[in-house]
Structure 1
Amino acid sequence: MARLKLGVLISGRGSNLQALIDAAADPAYPATIALVLSNKADAAGLQRAASAGIPTAVVDHRAHPGDKRAFEEAMDAELRRAGVELVCLAGFMRLLSDWFVERWRDRLINIHPSLLPSFKGLDTHARALAAGVRLHGCTVHVVRPAMDEGPIVVQAAVPVLPGDDEHTLAERVLAAEHRIYPLAVRLFADGRARVEGERVVIDGAAADAGSALVNPAR
Structure 2
Amino acid sequence: MRRMAVFASGTGSNFEAIVRAAHSGQIPAEVVLLVCDRPGAPVVAKAQAAGIPVFVAAPKTFPDKAAYERAVLARLHEKDVTFIALAGYMRLIGPTLLNAYPERIVNIHPSLLPAFPGRNAIARALEAGVKVTGVTIHYVDSGIDSGPIIAQRAVEILEGDTVETLSERIHRVEHVLYPETLARLLKKENPMGITYAKERMF
**TM-score normalised by structure 1 residue count:** 0.85
Cα distance in 2 between the residues matched to 1:6 and 1:51 = 18
Q: Alpha-carbon deviation of 1:98? A: 2.9
Of 11-20 and 40-49, deviating more is 40-49
The offset of 1:195, in angstroms, is: 5.1
Q: How big is each residue's C-alpha offset from its partner over 1:79-98, in whole Å with a ceiling of 9 and x where there is no partner?
A: 11111111111111122223
Change in Cα spacing, 1:113 to 1:4, as seen in structure 2 (3 Å) is same
Q: Which residue pairs with 1:46 in the alignment?
A: 44
Encode CA deviations 1:169-201: one digit per residue, 9 max, x unaligned. 1111111111111112111210167555xxx31
Farther off after superposition, 20-29 or 39-48: 20-29
Structure 1 residue aligned with 2:188, among 187, 191, 207?
Answer: 191
Instruction: Please identify, of 141-150 and 98-107, the stretch whose mean Cα deviation from structure 2 is larger.
Output: 98-107
Q: Which runs of 5+ in 2 are unaligned?
A: none
2:152 corresponds to: 155
Counterpart of 2:90 in structure 1 is 93
> CA contact under 8 A between 1:30 and 1:186: conserved in structure 2?
yes
- Cα distance change on mapping 1:193 and 1:117 into 2, 3 Å: farther
Match for 2:107: what amino acid? N
Shift of 1:103: 2.3
Which residue of the partner structure matches residue 213 of structure 1?
Answer: 201
Q: How many residues align?
A: 200
| CA distances 1:104-152 after superposition (whole Å, capped 9, x unpaired) | 1100011111001110111111211222211110111000101101111
Q: 1:74 — aligned with what? A: 71
CA distance in 1, matches of 2:56, 2:38: 6
Secondary structure of 2:195's counterpart equals strand
Alignment of 1:26-175 (within 5 A): 26-27=24-25, 29-65=27-63, 67-175=64-172
> CA RMSD for the aligned pairs?
1.9
Write the letter of the residue equivalent to 2:59: H
Amino acid at match of 1:90: A
| Range 56-65 or range 163-172, more displaced | 56-65
Q: 5+ unaligned residues in a row in structure 1: which ranges? A: 206-211
SS across alignment from 1:25: helix
Query: Whole-Å Cα distance in 1 between the matches of residues 58 and 91 of structure 2?
Result: 11
Structure 2 contact 27–182 (Cα < 8 Å) conserved? no
- C-alpha contact 2:27 2:179 (8 A) present in aligned 1: no
Q: CA deviation at 1:59?
A: 3.0
Which structure has more relative contact order (CA 8 Å, sep 6+)? It is 2
Provide TM-score, normalisation by structure 2.
Answer: 0.91
2:7 touches 2:86 (CA, 8 Å); kept in 1?
yes
